[in-house]
Structure 1
Amino acid sequence: MEPTSACLDTSALIALLNDGEDAHTAVLREFQKYKSSGMVFITEVVFAEASAGMSSAEELRLALDELGISDLRATDECLFSAGQVFKEYRRSKGTGKKDGVLPDFMIGAVAKARGVALITLNDRDFVNKFSDLAVINPVKT
C-alpha cells in the first residue's frame, strides 16, 4: 500500500521553498498530492541543512508553518538504522561513491521507520539502501 504521507529531503524542501528552482513545479505537485491525502514532514537533519539558506531559524519555521510541514523526530532505533546503512555503504564503497551521506541515511531511516514516502531530488542516495521505503523523485516521475 502506498504511503499517504511523505517526508521531504533537503533537496526537495529547497526546491519547494524557491519558485525559481528548476524542480519547483515537480516538487510542488508531489507536495500537494501528499498534503491532500495525509501530512508532509521534515526531519531535524533537513531543518539543519535547510537553515544554511535562511537568515534565521524563525524564518525557516515560519515558512514551514505556512506550508503546514510538521516535524518527524528521530528515535534511537532510527539513528541506529542509519548508522548500520552507513556502515554497509562504507564497507562496499567503490569508485564514484561520495562521502557525507550519513545525514541522508538519517533522513531515510526516519522516513522508513515512520512509514512515510520520501520526496527527494537525489534518489540515488536512498534507493536500495532502505527496503520498503517509497522513494519519489518528482523530476523523474
Structure 2
Amino acid sequence: MTLVDSNVLLDVVTDGETWADWSQGQLEQAASVGPLIINDVIYAEISTRYSAVEDVDAMLRNLEINVVTIPRSALFLAGKAYLRYRSAGPRTGVLSDFFIGAHAAVEQRPLLTRDARRYRTYFPTVELITPSESGG
C-alpha cells in the first residue's frame, strides 16, 4: 500500500501545469504495485477543492483510492514530532504534515509526495516517492 499525499492528488484533479503528468504517472506506477490509500487528514486537505462530499468520494473511487484510519500510535508519534519541530523556534508548518508522516512511519508505508523536506527530517525511516527519487 502506498500513502498518497494531498499535493499529488490535487495535481491530478486540478490538472496542474507543472506537476500533473508526474503525479499521474506516479499514481499509476504505485497502483501497479499495490493499493493506494489516504487518511482522514489528506481527505480533509483535498476536500477544499470540492463543493460536496459525494464529489470527493467519486474522485477517490475513480482513482481507486481508499480512506484509512490513522492508528493511535501514529497520532502519538505525530504529536511528539511536532513538539520537536516547534521547539526549534517559531515555525509556520502545520500539524497535518506530521499526521501524514507519522502514519507512513508507523505502518511502514511508502509516501508519494512532492514535499519531502519535513518528512525526511522528522520521519527518516519513511520511504519517500518524490520527484528527485523518481527522476522527475
Q: Same fold (TM over 0.5)?
A: yes
Q: What is the root-mean-square deviation in Å for CA atoms of aligned residues? A: 1.6
Q: Contact 1:23–1:139 (CA<8 Å) still a contact in 2?
A: no
> Percent identity among equivalent residues?
28
The corresponding residue for 2:87 is: 91
Instruction: Kindly provide the amino acid, as one letter, of the partner of residue 64 in structure 2.
Output: G
Structure 1: 5+ residue stretches without partners: none
2:25 paired with 1:29: yes
Name whichever of 51-60 and 10-19 sits farther off. 10-19
Name whichever of 23-32 and 123-132 sits farther off. 123-132
2:119 paired with 1:126: yes
The corresponding residue for 2:96 is: 103
The corresponding residue for 1:113 is: 106
In structure 1, C-alpha distance between the alignment counterparts of 2:89 and 2:67, rounded to whole Å: 32
Q: Offset of 1:19 from its aligned partner?
A: 2.1
- Structure 1 58/21 Cα, relative in aligned 2: closer, same or farther at 3 Å? farther
Instruction: State the TM-score, normalized to the length of structure 2.
Output: 0.90
After superposition, residues 54-93 of structure 1 pair within 5 angstroms as: 54-93=50-89
Q: Across the two proteins, how many residue pairs are aligned to each other?
A: 134
Q: Offset of 1:139 from its aligned partner?
A: 6.2
Q: Aligned with 1:53: secondary structure?
A: coil
Runs of at least 4 residues off by over 4 Å: none
In structure 2, C-alpha distance between the alignment counterparts of 1:32 and 1:114, rounded to whole Å: 22
- Structure 1 112/24 Cα, relative in aligned 2: closer, same or farther at 3 Å? same
Q: Offset of 1:34 from its aligned partner?
A: 1.0
Q: Offset of 1:99 from its aligned partner?
A: 1.7
Instruction: Find 1:45's aligned residue among 9, 28, 41.
Output: 41
In structure 1, C-alpha distance between the alignment counterparts of 2:57 and 2:132, rounded to whole Å: 26
Structure 2: 5+ residue stretches without partners: none
Instruction: Kindly provide the amino acid, as one letter, of the partner of residue 116 in structure 2.
Output: D
In structure 2, C-alpha distance between the alignment counterparts of 1:21 and 1:57, rounded to whole Å: 26
Q: Offset of 1:132 from its aligned partner?
A: 1.3
In structure 2, C-alpha distance between the alignment counterparts of 1:139 and 1:26, rounded to whole Å: 11
In structure 2, C-alpha distance between the alignment counterparts of 1:33 and 1:68, rounded to whole Å: 13
After superposition, residues 14-25 of structure 1 pair within 5 angstroms as: 14-25=10-21
